[in-house]
Amino acid sequence: CCGAIALHAGEIDFARELAKRNIEAFERSGADVYVVNAAGCGSALKEYGELFAADEAWAQRAARFSERVRDVTEVLDALDLPPPERPLNAVATYQEPCHLVHAQRVTGAPRRLLAKIPELRLVEMDESAVCCGSAGIYNLTQPDMASRLQRRKVEAVVKTGSTIVATANPGCAMQVAAGLRAAGYRAEVRHVVELLDAAYLPDA
């Protein structure tokens, strides 16, 4: 575990213990870049440097670790891959996870990747960067407000007429999917990488 949930709950000491395990494990890997496919986790991992800023024994190691963390969409976008050949004939909209757009300042990469998919029409939803109500453990600790945000997000999705909602964080995916089911609106909620996988890989 990256420690994000512990951080959200205010369990800072436990979060630091989890962070130390990750730092040690990833250092042993010898990797130059640590690729993350969940925005909430990526945000927490990129903040290890801040988490240990006052700890002389861990500050430098944590800062080096955080400098190597990248969201998977950042990595794939930087590779400048050729467009996939397999089309995906659908209307999609992109839900920006708060921990990607606000915490990590990643907003263009997911859209550029989705734009590569042939026949996938990307329609921008209103307030795409407004929280869906998941917000780590917010939907557990503040369910009323989380539900209001969820309904607001669902209204924005429905307005686009999309049959696919792309996102980049499991918490957002579950929150939006539950809201769409409750509203009786039929649309798939998929990670950006799932859609790329479907477009790049041929049928088995």
- Dihedral of CA 98/135/71/198: which sign? negative
Cβ(120)–Cβ(92) under 8 Å? Answer: yes
SS3 37: coil
| Tens place of pLDDT per residue across the chain (204 aa) | 999 999 989 999 999 999 999 999 999 999 999 999 999 999 999 999 999 999 999 999 999 999 999 999 999 999 989 999 999 999 999 999 999 999 999 999 999 999 999 999 999 999 999 999 988 787 788 889 989 999 999 999 999 999 999 999 999 999 999 999 999 999 999 999 999 999 998 765
Domains of the chain (ranges, CATH numbers): 4-75 (no CATH), 81-200 (3.40.50.11810)
Distance CA(134)–CA(168), nearest Å, equals 13
Tell me which residue has tokens 């730092």: 23
Locate 50 and state its tokens: 């801040």
